[in-house]
């Protein structure tokens, strides 16, 4: 397998899952800050021009975080990153989809790229303010609905934890805002996890 990633992007969650699985894989850098996602070589891999993308061999490339995470969980059941029961799998995907489809774009893309949401530079502060309000509201939803102990789900570590990690990391390390208690404890537990530390080190990120 080959993971197309950019350091510090949401692809870190898939990188963590690959480390959890422990099977051989390659990394292929897509430098978002240099616009590599829009260059012909990468567009040929993923026409959506974003990361992550996972080459699973024989010319097959998967895109979209939830789809890649589900594939890894189902194809490597011994790794235990996806609950075995249908309800547990649905809950893991529920959290993963909320993070990638709502929290990521509306709380963080708005902060990091306000120019995507307004053509007028004078509007950028308001876009960022709204994004930070969104982040607080979304994290409150996750905090209130916390069903597990250390990990998101009662059954233990899953793909949902890898998804939640990257927005927690951005909020605490990049935006330098406090997380609610359950999420703060979760971030600390993730940062202590060997697979997470390996992935961060490989991407040159602070553990």
Contacts of 116 (CB under 8 A, 6+ apart): 109, 110
> What is the model's pLDDT at position 207?
85
Domain ranges for the chain: 2-79, 86-193
Q: What is the pLDDT of residues 89-137, one digit of tens each?
A: 999 999 999 999 999 999 999 999 999 999 999 999 999 999 999 999 9
pLDDT, averaged across the chain? 97
* Domain 86-193, architecture per CATH: Up-down Bundle (1.20)
Kindly report whether the global pTM for this prediction surpasses the value 0.85.
yes
Helix (H, G, I), strand (E, B) or coil at 118: coil
Q: How far apart are CA 110 and CA 165, in angstroms?
A: 18
Class of domain 2-79: alpha beta
């Amino acid at each position: 397998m080959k993971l197309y990633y950019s350091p510090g992007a949401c692809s870190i969650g898939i990188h963590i899952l690959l480390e959890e699985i422990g099977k051989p894989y390659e990394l292929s850098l897509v430098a978002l800050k240099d616009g590599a996602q829009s260059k012909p070589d990468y567009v040929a891999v993923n026409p959506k021009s974003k990361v992550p993308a996972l080459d699973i061999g024989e010319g097959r490339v998967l895109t979209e975080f939830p789809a890649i995470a589900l594939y890894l969980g189902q194809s490597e059941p011994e790794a235990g990153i996806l609950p075995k029961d249908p309800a547990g799998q649905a809950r893991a995907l529920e959290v993963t989809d909320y993070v990638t489809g709502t929290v990521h774009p509306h709380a963080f893309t708005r902060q990091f790229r306000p120019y995507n949401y307004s053509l007028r530079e004078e509007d950028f502060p308001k876009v960022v303010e709204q994004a930070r309000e969104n982040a607080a509201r979304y994290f409150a939803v996750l905090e209130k609905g916390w069903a597990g102990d250390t990990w998101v789900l009662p059954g233990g570590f899953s793909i949902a934890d890898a998804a939640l990690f990257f927005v927690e990391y951005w909020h605490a390390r990049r935006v330098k805002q406090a997380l609610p208690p359950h999420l703060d404890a979760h971030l600390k537990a993730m940062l202590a996890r060997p697979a997470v530390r390996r992935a961060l080190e490989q991407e040159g990120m602070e553990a």
